[in-house]
Amino acid sequence: MIEVWAPRAQRLRLRRWTDAAASPHDTELAPASDGWWRADVALAEGDRYGFVIDDADEARPDPSSRRQPDGVHGPSAAFDASTFAWTDAAWTGRPLAGGVIYELHVGTMTPEGTLDALIERLDHLVDLGVTHIELLPVNAFNGLWNWGYDGVLWYAVHEQYGGPRAYQRLVDAAHARGLAVIQDVVYNHLGPSGNYLPEFGPYLRDGQRNTWGDSIDLDEPAVREYIIENALMWLRDFHVDGLRLDAVHALHDEQPVHILQELAERVDALSAHQQRPLTLIAESDLNDPTLILPREAGGYGLTAQWSDDWHHAVHVALTGETAGYYEDFAAADAVAKVTRGGFFHDGTFSSFRGRPHGRPVPDTVPAWRLVTFAQDHDQIGNRAAGDRLSQTLSPGRLAVAAVLTLTAPGTPMLFMGEEWGASTPWQFFTSHPEPELGRATAEGRIAEFARMGWDPDQVPDPQDPETFERSHLDWAELDRPSHAGLYALYRDLIALRRARPELTDPDSSRNRVTVEVSADSAGNAPDARVYRIDRGALAVLVNLSPEPASFAVGAGDEVLLATGEALIVDGLITVPSESAAVVAPPEGPEAVSG
């Protein structure tokens, strides 16, 4: 049975090609209730097909297409997910609590840029110690390469990555190695090229736009179901363990039950049925704990949400940058506040927004429900040159970034290559085939950074293939001593996080942070800070000042990990400039050295 929601159609035909060389065959669909059309037709695996709306000449792809072998403007291809020979029957999933996420982009993670090539790098991630891999969007978009946020067919896996069957192979291989898979999905807008959904029905809200395009019309029940069914598809048909929901603040929903709550309820039901944890992580700039509060407490019941505030506070402490939205995070207590409470702006005035922003996270919310990171695709790629911390920080400060990230109370997330201090940038790249769209994208990028005071000469052309090529990881760096040492530190930190329960304590109220600040020579904003972060019996000691710093420690305390020559003498530990140490009483694990 073929069915499609097309309330704007007066006539609808299924056009199919059973042989590439033969002429297509058209079958009339019959109108049903609520804008649905149906035809009693069975498609064989691989059959090309599309829908002809009214008296048009060309067929459009299936709005729920599972495969687009010829791109988003071409016909769809029938795909049956149930025929894959899964080997993960014993997989019981991984909860997010206690986990470490690794964010990656399929197209630039490996030289080949495919899902099958990514399988060959999974053992590296197992050795590193991460528990969850998070893939940037893989749904079908126009062109060959893209970050993935210009998708127009949400049900199809981008063909250049290997298509849906390769995606199943990746998830199966990840589960075989004990790795959970989180898929980044975008439900707040559609890309600028190949979006034929409005020809079928009111998928978009007339006259309402967000940052990236027309808003999705969440007043339409069929559109809501289109989104929810897509989410369930990844979790059910592709065995994915969780979804990262892009920019949920751009989901304009006026219905009595917000779509995020509805989605969480449906996913929880699927989780109970499949008897494995299924994770929903929201990206939001609202600093609103409603997303992660339980439904019994008036929340939506999502698993977790990103904390950009944690990133901003740590970024300013490490780099000294205070321009734009970083300005407020120059406050001396910024790192302390996000360590204890998750959000810096919890009702405080945001100078970037020009108004009070955010709400406090209740003490009852476990710390792991906030995903924290020192680097991610946005915070690197949306810099003018796409430069990583490794391109601006000293080796000492880069090591401190690792310590702060992996001893934080939240669920830590790494961005691909961060673990060895990759020198390759991560830049904004597109491959729009339409010259006018490519030109508009490049010009818009330059204008955006000009408004922010960046030098436009630093902004690479997103349409230049070299921008894409530069953003690929260089795996040969792992064998070089300067990178191998940092990789060993990340691996040791993840092992330490797994060994010490204080580092995954869900109660942030038990954290204590002491900050010492020295001003620059003119007495302006602080440029050197010393932090002591007490997490139960364990202490994380960070020295970002130009001189050695001393901290009082308990009798018999041991150094569990240090990025420099940290020494304990007579109840004091001396931590060198631009380094960090982790100390705890002797009942802790044996000391390791970074």
Q: How confident is the model at residue 445 (pLDDT cuts 50, 70, 90)?
A: confident
- Residue 574 located in a structural domain: yes
Q: How confident is the model at residue 593 (pLDDT cuts 50, 70, 90)?
A: very low
Please report the sign of the dihedral spanned by the C-alpha atoms of residue 390, residue 394, residue 395, residue 399. Answer: negative
What is the tens place of the pLDDT at every residue in 489-547?
999 999 999 999 999 999 988 899 999 876 555 444 456 789 999 999 999 999 999 99
Contact 593, 562 (CB under 8 A): yes
Q: How confident is the model at residue 242 (pLDDT cuts 50, 70, 90)?
A: very high
Contacts of 85 (CB under 8 A, 6+ apart): none
Residue 246 among the catalytic residues:
yes
Among the candidates 43, 60, 77, a domain finishes at: 60
- Residue 560 located in a structural domain: yes
Q: Would you state the pLDDT for residue 452?
A: 64
What is the tens place of the pLDDT at every residue in 298-353?
999 999 999 999 999 999 999 999 988 999 999 999 999 999 999 999 999 999 99
Q: Would you state the pLDDT for residue 519?
A: 56
Q: Would you state the pLDDT for residue 451?
A: 66
Q: How confident is the model at residue 287 (pLDDT cuts 50, 70, 90)?
A: very high
Whole-angstrom distance, CA of residue 2 vs CA of residue 41? 6
Whether the predicted pLDDT of 29 surpasses 90? yes
Contacts of 442 (CB under 8 A, 6+ apart): 461, 462, 463
- Residue 519 located in a structural domain: yes
Please report the sign of the dihedral spanned by the C-alpha atoms of residue 431, residue 433, residue 434, residue 439. Answer: positive
Contact 327, 352 (CB under 8 A): yes
**Percentage of the residues of the chain whose pLDDT score is greater than 70:** 96
Q: Would you state the pLDDT for residue 20?
A: 66
Q: Would you state the pLDDT for residue 90?
A: 97
Backbone dihedral angles phi then psi of residue 172, each to the nearest 5 degrees = -60, -45
- Residue 556 located in a structural domain: yes
**Long-range Cβ contact pairs of 456-463 (< 8 A, separation 24 or more):** 458/384, 458/385, 459/384, 459/385, 460/385, 460/386, 460/427, 460/428, 462/427, 462/428, 462/429, 462/430, 462/438, 463/430, 463/431, 463/432, 463/438, 463/439
Q: Would you state the pLDDT for residue 526?
A: 52
Number of domains in the chain: 2
Q: How confident is the model at residue 592 (pLDDT cuts 50, 70, 90)?
A: very low
DSSP classification of residue 137:
P
Q: Would you state the pLDDT for residue 517?
A: 77
The catalytic residue among 150, 283, 346, 378 is 283
Domain that holds residue 570: 507-584
3-state helix, strand, coil in the chain (%, to 5): 35, 20, 45
Q: CATH number of the domain at 517, please.
A: 2.60.40.1180
Among the candidates 12, 36, 60, a domain finishes at: 60
Written as six digits, the tokens of 131 are 């528990």
144-158 mean pLDDT: 97
Q: Would you state the pLDDT for residue 455?
A: 72
- Residue 561 located in a structural domain: yes
The full DSSP string for 273-307 is HHTS--EEEE--SS--GGGTS-GGGTS---SEEE-
548-565 mean pLDDT: 94
What is the tens place of the pLDDT at every residue in 558-570?
999 999 999 899 9
Among the candidates 60, 82, 103, a domain finishes at: 60
Whole-angstrom distance, CA of residue 303 vs CA of residue 293? 9
Provide the edge-to-edge strand list for the sheet that holds 25-28: 25-28, 12-17, 48-53, 76-77
Written as six digits, the tokens of 386 are 């796409």
- Residue 179 located in a structural domain: no
Q: How confident is the model at residue 589 (pLDDT cuts 50, 70, 90)?
A: very low
Whole-angstrom distance, CA of residue 464 vs CA of residue 551? 51
What is the tens place of the pLDDT at every residue in 187-213?
999 999 999 999 999 999 987 777 777
- Arithmetic mean of pLDDT over the chain: 93
Q: Would you state the pLDDT for residue 594?
A: 46
- Residue 202 located in a structural domain: no
Contact 154, 142 (CB under 8 A): no
Q: Helix or strand or coil: residue 79?
A: coil
The catalytic residue among 150, 184, 237, 246 is 246
HSE-CB of 313 using CA atoms within 13 angstroms? 24
Q: Which of 312, 334, 332, 314 is nearest to 323 (CA)?
A: 312
**Percentage of the residues of the chain whose pLDDT score is greater than 90:** 87
Q: Would you state the pLDDT for residue 520?
A: 52
Segments in 87-219 forming alpha helices (H): 106-109, 115-119, 122-128, 163-176, 197-200
Contact 405, 171 (CB under 8 A): no
Q: Would you state the pLDDT for residue 528?
A: 75
Whole-angstrom distance, CA of residue 551 vs CA of residue 571? 8
Q: Would you state the pLDDT for residue 458?
A: 79
Q: Would you state the pLDDT for residue 213?
A: 77
Q: Would you state the pLDDT for residue 459?
A: 87
Written as six digits, the tokens of 435 are 């010259």
- Residue 242 located in a structural domain: no
